Amino acid sequence: MKTRAILLCLLALAVYVLHQDFWNWKDYKPLIFGFLPVGLAYHAGYSILAAIMMALFVKFAWPKHLEDVAARAEGGVPDAKKDAEPHSPRAATRDDPK
Amino acid sequence: MIPAIVVFVYLAVVIYIGVFAFRKGKETGEDYFLASRGLGQWVFLLTLFGSNMTAFAILGSSGLSYRAGIGVYGLMASSSGFVIPLTIFFIGTRLWAVGKQYGHMTQVQYFRDRWECSHIGTVIFAVTAAMLVPYIIIGVMGGGHTLETISGGKVPYWLGGAIVALVVMSYVFFGGMRGTAWVNTFQTLLFLVFGTVAFYLIARKLGGFDSVVEQLASNPKTAPLLTRERISPYEFFSYTFIPLSAIMFPHIAITCFTAKKVTHFKKTVIFYPICIMLIWVPSVFLGVVAASQFPGLKPGESDDVILRLLAANTDIWLAGILGAGIMACVMASDTQILALGTMFTEDVFAYYGHKERFGEKAQVWTGRIFVVGITLVAYLIALELKDKAGIFELAIRFAFSGFAALAPIMLAALFWKRSTKWGALAAVLWVALTVLGTWWLYNYSAGVAPRPGQLPAQIFPAFGDLFLRTPTNVTIFGFLPVMPMCLGSALWMWLVSLLTKPPSQATIEKYFPRNG
């Protein structure tokens, strides 16, 4: 768990450092797709990288406990438990092997 | 006039959505202000994104790119694509959970309960409300100017502003958060779809963007726009602090309370950077393209370069539809008006006992009356100070830094048990004083402001490079003021919290349960 947290912190740090692309400062070539200056294309790609980073955060660092907290607040069953149960009596009947 | 008619049809649709939402609603505070905490995941994503994409973001970004070049995307958009989803992931989800558990509807309600404070909460309310008001005024002004431009001057500024104010007021008044969320979803989709179409059509009309880029590159005056030469690396680095402001904006924080499930945040944080890319890449690039089409525009004039490009290069009907899309961004002040209404009714009206005295229905109506009042005041100010939009634009820029510097307070509330109300007060006062201080410094140094492309000037030669003036900013050792403001706010929060008494054990255990 701790290793995972450290790896995700390092990932965020690496993505942050990649934002400071000083190597693209004064050049506009190569033109990506024939018209997009490299500095703009790089940062458009960076936005996709940020989305991928967030997907990894969602996959490996999702605050699962908040789902249960909210369910308890509503006086219901935590979502994690609910997912393991049949969703409706009808579904239970249909899926029941007996 | 055809584009203006298309825009009027669009405005009618928007009002209809608001009225439809009203018919679906209930007369409770939670329903009016938070749509009963029941937004689905796509509406939640598009509302959160749409409320952050204001006129300032779209028109301002292309206007700034016209002057500063493609670096504006890295400066404002990709840094937001990195920072905002992280803040929504770590702060937004926790806010949602405390809202769901304890019924909080605003940041101040949470702070009051978390730190067992009363008037300090009122101070936080006052500072955030003061920093939010300029956005609402600039939204009305933007509406007036946009309708005037789209109609070719046939709809004057005063009438355009009145129409926009009336439309926004109507759907916020009737629809509350549900109406606002649906309108924002509609507006964001409209802008995404037609923005892409416009980008393609403008490229075709200009004979391809490759020739435009070559034309820009061959002119020594416009060539720097294709690079980041006009932006200092220090400024570029320190600007990454600015997106911390997003989660502290009341309209964004309040929207975080509206998701039906915490899992709805998953798609939001993943798709947020993609949505930013889809809207900002064309806006920034078209701003630069406009430099070859309409050279020599002054800073105030360059804010409508997108409208000029549309009018000159697209079919009249499409220009109208896209004008409506731009109106959508201009009208993003809806969530801000509603947020201010929510804050007033929850943090002042309900907190000081009127909810118990008059009941929940009266609370909802107080919110509605406040919405009418604030829109009216914003319109009158927009009318009175028509030619002084620069003041409010400036106020917004300083408010961005102010909201960013409030982020350490929220982080301390959520993640640091030992934080105290006095630490929060010290940090808020620091933020208020530094916002006013940088504003003063900006005005004081107006006389030594260099032109674009020139080196920064020393404001007080005796202090060397401590305070520098660039064409559009003041800097501290070359860094934007937001950086020392954020670090100072965190320092005050930490230091004063350590020196003062923490909240009771019961409150700490409430927000930091042992098994949670």
Looking at the DSSP bridge assignments, the partners of residue B469 are B457, B474
**Distance in angstroms (rounded) separating the CA atoms of residues B117 and B423:** 12
Residues B289 and B70 sit within 8 Å (Cβ to Cβ): no
Percentage of residues of chain B with pLDDT beyond 70 = 94
Q: How many residues does chain B have?
A: 516
Domain count, chain B: 1
Tokens of B172: 């916020």
Nearest CA in chain A to B212: A35
Contact of A83 with chain B, judged by CB distance below 8 Å, is answered with no
| CA contacts within 13 A on the Cβ side of B255 | 34
Answer whether residue B53 shows pLDDT above 90: no
ipTM score = 0.88
Q: Which range has the worst mean pLDDT, B41-45, B97-101, B313-317?
A: B313-317
Top-ranked range on mean pLDDT: pick from B204-208, B363-367, B409-413:
B409-413
Is B204 within a domain?
yes
Candidates A54, A59, A72, partner chain B, best to mutate (most B CBs within 10 A):
A54
Q: Using CB atoms within 10 Å of the CB of residue B296, give its burial: 0 to 12 exposed, 13 to 18 middle, 19+ buried.
A: exposed
Q: Using CB atoms within 10 Å of the CB of residue A15, give its burial: 0 to 12 exposed, 13 to 18 middle, 19+ buried.
A: middle
Helix (H, G, I), strand (E, B) or coil at B261: coil
Segment B68-92 shows an average pLDDT of 94
pLDDT at A92: 36
Contact of B279 with chain A, judged by CB distance below 8 Å, is answered with no
When pLDDT is cut at 50, 70 and 90, the band that residue A88 belongs to is very low
Contact of A23 with chain B, judged by CB distance below 8 Å, is answered with no
Nearest CA in chain A to B516: A65
Is B209 within a domain?
yes
pLDDT at B506: 95
**Residue type for position B266:** K
**Residue type for position B110:** Y
Residues 308-347 of B with CB under 8 A from A: none
DSSP assignment of B361-416 equals: HHHHHHHHHHHHHHHHHHHHHHHHTGGGHHHHHHHHHHHHHHHHHHHHHHHHHHH-
Q: What separation, in Å, do the N-terminal and C-terminal C-alpha atoms of chain A show?
A: 41
Chain-centroid distance, C-alpha A96: 35
Segment B474-478 shows an average pLDDT of 90
Segment B489-515 shows an average pLDDT of 93
Torsions phi, psi of B474, nearest 5?
-105, 150
Is B375 within a domain?
yes
Which residues have C-beta within 8 Å of that of residue B91, sequence separation ≥ 6?
A: B247, B256, B407, B410, B411, B414
Among A16, A24, A35, select the one facing B82 at the smallest CB separation: A16
pLDDT in tens, A49-70: 999 999 999 999 999 988 887 6
Residues B12 and B186 sit within 8 Å (Cβ to Cβ): no
pLDDT at B316: 72
**Domain of B346, in residue numbers:** 2-511
| CA contacts within 13 A on the Cβ side of B299 | 9
**Distance in angstroms (rounded) separating the CA atoms of residues B235 and B233:** 5
**Distance in angstroms (rounded) separating the CA atoms of residues A62 and A31:** 38
Is B516 within a domain?
no
DSSP assignment of B42-110 equals: HHHHHHHHHHH--HHHHHHHHHHHHHH-THHIIIIIIHHHHHHHHHIIIIIHHHHHHHHHH---SHHHH
Which residues have C-beta within 8 Å of that of residue B37, sequence separation ≥ 6?
A: B30, B99, B100, B257, B258, B259, B260
Candidates B45, B230, B270, B272, partner chain A, best to mutate (most A CBs within 10 A):
B270
Looking at the DSSP bridge assignments, the partners of residue A36 are A32
Give the global pTM.
0.89
Contact of B68 with chain A, judged by CB distance below 8 Å, is answered with no
pLDDT at B388: 67
Answer whether residue B200 shows pLDDT above 50: yes
**Distance in angstroms (rounded) separating the CA atoms of residues B460 and B450:** 15
Segment B217-239 shows an average pLDDT of 88
pLDDT at B481: 92
Answer whether residue A84 shows pLDDT above 60: no
| CA contacts within 13 A on the Cβ side of B414 | 19
Residues 206-235 of B with CB under 8 A from A: 208-210, 212-213, 217, 223, 226-229, 233
Strands B457-458 and B474-476: unpaired
Q: Which helix (H) or strand (E) holds B184?
A: helix B157-205
Smallest CA–CA separation between A96 and chain B, in Å?
Answer: 29
Q: Which helix (H) or strand (E) holds B491?
A: helix B482-499
Of B293, B136, B122, residue with least CA distance to B222:
B293
pLDDT at B276: 92
pLDDT in tens, A17-53: 999 998 888 888 899 998 899 999 999 999 999 999 9
Percentage of residues of chain B with pLDDT beyond 90 = 40
pLDDT at B112: 95
pLDDT at A75: 64
Q: What is the largest CA-CA distance in chain B?
A: 71
Residues B38 and A4 sit within 8 Å (Cβ to Cβ): no
Of B313, B311, B285, B309, residue with least CA distance to B210:
B285
Looking at the DSSP bridge assignments, the partners of residue B468 are B458, B475
When pLDDT is cut at 50, 70 and 90, the band that residue A96 belongs to is very low
pLDDT at B413: 97
pLDDT at A90: 37
Tokens of B361: 């229905």
Residues B424 and B115 sit within 8 Å (Cβ to Cβ): yes
A30: cis peptide before it, omega within 30°? yes
Mean of per-residue pLDDT scores for chain B: 87
**Distance in angstroms (rounded) separating the CA atoms of residues A94 and B87:** 43
Candidates A31, A66, A82, partner chain B, best to mutate (most B CBs within 10 A):
A66
Segment B39-49 shows an average pLDDT of 91
Give B104's contacts in chain A (Cβ within 8 Å): none
Contact of B494 with chain A, judged by CB distance below 8 Å, is answered with no
pLDDT at B390: 61
**Distance in angstroms (rounded) separating the CA atoms of residues B104 and B292:** 51
pLDDT at B22: 79
Q: At what angle do helices B119-150 and B107-115 cross, to 10 degrees?
A: 170
Instruction: Report in angstroms the alpha-carbon separations of B16 from A38, B33, B89, B180.
Output: 44, 19, 34, 12
Candidates A27, A40, A74, partner chain B, best to mutate (most B CBs within 10 A):
A40
pLDDT in tens, B303-352: 778 878 877 887 777 777 777 777 776 676 788 889 999 999 989 988 88
pLDDT in tens, B115-168: 999 899 999 999 998 888 888 887 788 778 777 877 778 888 888 888 888 888
User: Does A28 contact B227 at a Cβ distance shorter than 8 Å?
Assistant: yes
Torsions phi, psi of B476, nearest 5?
-115, 110
Answer whether residue A83 shows pLDDT above 60: no
pLDDT at B515: 64
**Residue type for position B83:** V
Contact of B281 with chain A, judged by CB distance below 8 Å, is answered with yes
Residue B103, domain CATH? 1.20.1730.10
